[in-house]
């Protein structure tokens, strides 16, 4: 049968990286724009799936955002994510799609999970409050895949990435994650000659960052080879403090001023490095170094986003 892989969320940072990866392997990707199909509408999703008959689905559609967006819009984060994933997973089953890869996030794990966090830490303790709405939706997604596997024998699997960055990230300072926010702040400070850049929180939390192209390779690998009930972690294998991140991004961008920490903003979870040894044992490993990944993302930002782009 001819392959038709639907990448749901193909315009986002993750979905676009997965699409590039699949296309580089010469594989047939199908997609549908948000203006044509609202994934929150169950009937529309089921109709579209019946009409388009994908042979596999990679679920990279999600309402995502940084620490403040998550705390300010809890209803959007829980409702949108529960609705779109339920519609797509149940719709996939009804349309006879036997293969689906669901993407989650390392925030599914308890706030004080033992580090590095193993897959088995899921549901062993309370969540980090700043993003528990999103986390609960993603945990439900993992369990929805497991339920359809258990009851209907479907080959639906879940992959949990760490914090991601790369091309097509969201650079809106109010809703973005830390990496694109800092890149933009440093760039704008460099252009305007500002002496200081504001970094949220204390700078001490640790985060694990993976370039989205490395994740995409892992996800496509999972599509082809991973078929377990349990979800699987996909992380870089090292973490950095927010201060170290800020220093690295500042160096890449060429900002020479000072960092000022705004401790009125939340730190979020102190640390969430994942144990990705199961993914490693399957033969996947990240290939893009931290500095190189930040540098190429900054070049992408300069070409595609920066309104006042200057040559780096
Ligand atoms: P998280 O990994 O879910 O906590 O999401 P974020 O990427 O939004 O935040 C990670 C950490 O970076 C938190 O400790 C934030 O307080 C910190 N941070 C520092 N500056 C910024 C910023 O400008 N934007 C964001 N989103 N986070 C920042």
Q: What is the pLDDT of residues 50-100, one digit of tens each?
A: 999 999 999 999 999 999 999 899 999 999 999 999 999 999 999 999 999
Output the CA 129–ligand 1 centroid distance in Å.
14
- Render 243-265 in DSSP notation, one character per residue: HHHHHHHHHHHT--SEEEEETTS
Residue 72 lies in a domain: yes
Centre of ligand 1 from the C-alpha of residue 178, in Å = 4
Full-model pTM: 0.96
Tell me, using a 6 A CB cutoff, whether residue 286 lines ligand 1: no
Supply the mean pLDDT for the chain.
96
Q: What is the rounded average pLDDT of the residues 41-55?
A: 98
**Averaged pLDDT for residues 26-40:** 98
Q: Is residue 182 part of a domain?
A: no
Question: Active site includes 134?
Answer: yes
Task: Please indicate whether residue 161, judged by its CB atom, sits closer than 6 Å to ligand 1.
Answer: no
CATH assignment at residue 277 = 3.40.50.720
In 3D, which of 113, 112, 115, 110 has the Cα closest to residue 139? 110
Under the banding of pLDDT at 50, 70 and 90, the label for residue 307 is: low
Evaluate whether residue 202 is within a structural domain.
no
The answer as to whether 263 is a domain residue is: no
From atom 27 of ligand 1, which residue's Cα is the shortest distance away?
A: 178
Ligand 1 pocket, mutate which of 183, 209, 268 (most atoms under 8 A from CB)? 268
pLDDT given for residue 1 in this prediction:
62
Cβ of residue 246 lying under 6 Å from some atom of ligand 1? no
Flag whether 226 is in a domain. yes
Give the position, in ligand 1's atom list, of the atom nearest the Cα of 207. 2
Does 262 reside within a domain? no
Give domain status of residue 310, yes or no: no
E-assigned strand segments in the chain: 5-8, 29-30, 56-59, 99-103, 155-161, 163-165, 196-200, 206-207, 209-211, 232-234, 240-241, 258-262
Higher pLDDT, 134 or 71: 134
Q: Coil, strand or helix: which one is 72?
A: helix
193 within some domain: no
Q: Which domain holds residue 83?
A: 5-169+208-238+272-289
Q: Would you say the CB of residue 265 lies under 6 angstroms from ligand 1? A: yes
Q: Determine if ligand 1 sits within 6 Å of the CB of residue 176.
A: yes
Our measurement of the distance from residue 165's CA atom to the centroid of its chain's CA atoms, rounded to an integer in Å, reads: 8
Count structural domains, the chain: 1
Residue linked to tokens 């800092």? 182
Catalytic residue among 73, 109, 134, 148: 134
Write the pLDDT tens digit of every residue in 166-207: 999 999 999 999 999 999 999 999 999 999 999 999 999 999
């Amino acid at each position: 049968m001819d392959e038709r892989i639907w990448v749901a969320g193909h315009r986002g940072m993750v979905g676009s990286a997965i699409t590039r990866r699949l296309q580089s392997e010469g594989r047939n990707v199908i997609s549908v724009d948000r203006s044509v199909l609202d994934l929150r509408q169950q009937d529309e999703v089921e109709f579209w799936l019946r009409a388009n008959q994908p042979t596999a689905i990679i679920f990279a559609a999600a309402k995502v955002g940084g620490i403040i967006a998550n705390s300010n819009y809890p209803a959007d984060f829980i409702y949108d994510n529960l609705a779109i994933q339920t519609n797509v997973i149940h719709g996939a089953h009804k349309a006879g799609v036997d293969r689906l890869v669901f993407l989650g996030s390392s925030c599914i794990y308890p706030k004080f999970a033992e580090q590095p966090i193993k897959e088995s830490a899921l549901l062993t303790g309370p969540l980090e409050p700043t993003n528990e709405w999103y986390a609960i939706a993603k945990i439900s997604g993992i369990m929805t895949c497991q339920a359809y596997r258990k009851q209907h024998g479907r080959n639906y699997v879940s992959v949990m990435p760490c914090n991601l960055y790369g091309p097509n990230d969201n650079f809106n300072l109010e809703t973005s994650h830390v990496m694109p926010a800092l890149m933009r702040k440093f760039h704008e400070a460099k252009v305007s000659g500002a002496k200081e850049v504001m970094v949220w929180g204390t700078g001490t939390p640790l985060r694990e960052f993976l370039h989205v192209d490395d994740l995409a390779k892992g996800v496509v690998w999972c599509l082809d080879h991973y078929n377990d009930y349990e979800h699987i972690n996909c992380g870089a294998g090292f973490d950095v403090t927010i201060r170290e991140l800020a220093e690295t991004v500042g160096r890449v961008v060429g900002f020479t001023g000072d960092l000022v920490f705004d401790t009125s903003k939340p730190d979020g979870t102190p640390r969430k490095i994942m144990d990705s040894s199961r993914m490693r044992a399957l033969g996947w490993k990240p290939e893009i170094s931290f500095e190189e990944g930040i540098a190429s993302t900054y070049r992408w930002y300069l070409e595609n986003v920066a309104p006042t782009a200057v040559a780096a």
